[in-house]
Amino acid sequence: MKKIIHRAADRGIQDHGWLKAAHSFSFAQYHDPAKVHFGLLRVLNDDIIAPGMGFGTHGHDNMEIVTIPLKGTLAHKDSLGSIGNIKYGEVQVMSAGKGIQHSEFNGSSDEEVNLLQLWVFPKERNIEPRYDQMQYDLEKANNSFLTIVSPVKVENVMWINQDAFFSLGTFDADSKASYKIQHPGNGAYVFFIEGQGIVDDTLLEKRDAAGVYDTEEIEFDFKENSKVLIIEVPMQ
């Protein structure tokens, strides 16, 4: 097993007033040549958006964009005609494909929204753009990892145009768990949303991450109540 450790405090921190962002990889004004991507994972942004504020209409192409709200409600509108809200307990997947325009705003007038937005390079380029969202079953993520995004089209899992898997889990203090790599050769970016635990003899705390590769399974030893997101991606 090989791993790369990214500490929460070492992320690119940006405070724009209405937007407080922490970038795990180079993004916008933040650039670190050692943190451009992990395999085909290009972006992991931890955003806090002030009430009523957000990102006006802008475009993307040839990128798989996954949004996971941690708190509050995000209002989405795009050039495909999709209009709606996404909240905690839901996941949104957008294939930018050959081009899409969209906007994202905090849907509340009095509560911040905190979300994770992740970009993954696509498997096929210039496909027809698409947008989808779903609610996942939080109970199934209790003391185990629940796959919420997958390249395999199955019920209750969002499809992605890449051999990538997103899995969430909530774990009790003093519990143990393991995660098996689902596609041969993939690596896994392990992001501690909350809590504290040991991964391959390394202690990870809130918002710390470990990029793990050249392994078939990852073992976890949780020291606190924890919530973990695993982004499994091809390494090249």
Structure tokens at 3: 């791993």
Neighbours of 52 (CB within 10 A): 13
CA-to-CA dists, residue 144 to 86, 180, 182, 213, angstroms: 24, 12, 15, 21
User: Would the annotation count 58 as a binding residue?
Assistant: yes
Q: What is the pLDDT of residue 138?
A: 82
Confirm whether 6 is domain-assigned.
Answer: no
If we measure between CA atoms, which residue out of 59, 40, 42, 44 comes closest to residue 11?
Answer: 44
User: Would the annotation count 60 as a binding residue?
Assistant: yes
User: For 35-57, how does the pLDDT look when each residue is reduced to its tens digit (9 = 90+)?
Assistant: 999 999 999 999 999 999 999 99
Task: Identify the CATH number of the domain in which residue 22 sits.
Answer: 2.60.120.10
201 and 98: one domain?
A: no
Structure tokens at 166: 């997103």
Confirm whether 150 is domain-assigned.
Answer: yes
User: For 120-162, how does the pLDDT look when each residue is reduced to its tens digit (9 = 90+)?
Assistant: 999 999 999 999 999 998 888 999 999 999 999 999 999 999 9
- Residues with Cβ within 8 Å of 215's Cβ and at least 6 positions away in sequence, in order, are 1, 2, 181
User: Would the annotation count 104 as a binding residue?
Assistant: yes
Confirm whether 103 is domain-assigned.
Answer: yes
If we measure between CA atoms, which residue out of 124, 73, 81, 123 comes closest to residue 101?
Answer: 81
pLDDT band at residue 3 using 50, 70 and 90 as cut-offs: very high
CA-to-CA dists, residue 171 to 39, 58, 77, 143, 156, angstroms: 27, 37, 34, 4, 21
Structural domains in the chain (count):
2
17 and 109: one domain?
A: yes
Expressed as residue numbers, the domain containing 82 is: 11-135
Confirm whether 201 is domain-assigned.
Answer: yes
Q: What is the pLDDT of residue 139?
A: 86
25 and 129: one domain?
A: yes
Strands 113-120 and 41-49 turn out to be antiparallel
Q: Which of 96, 111, 135 is the last residue of a domain?
A: 135
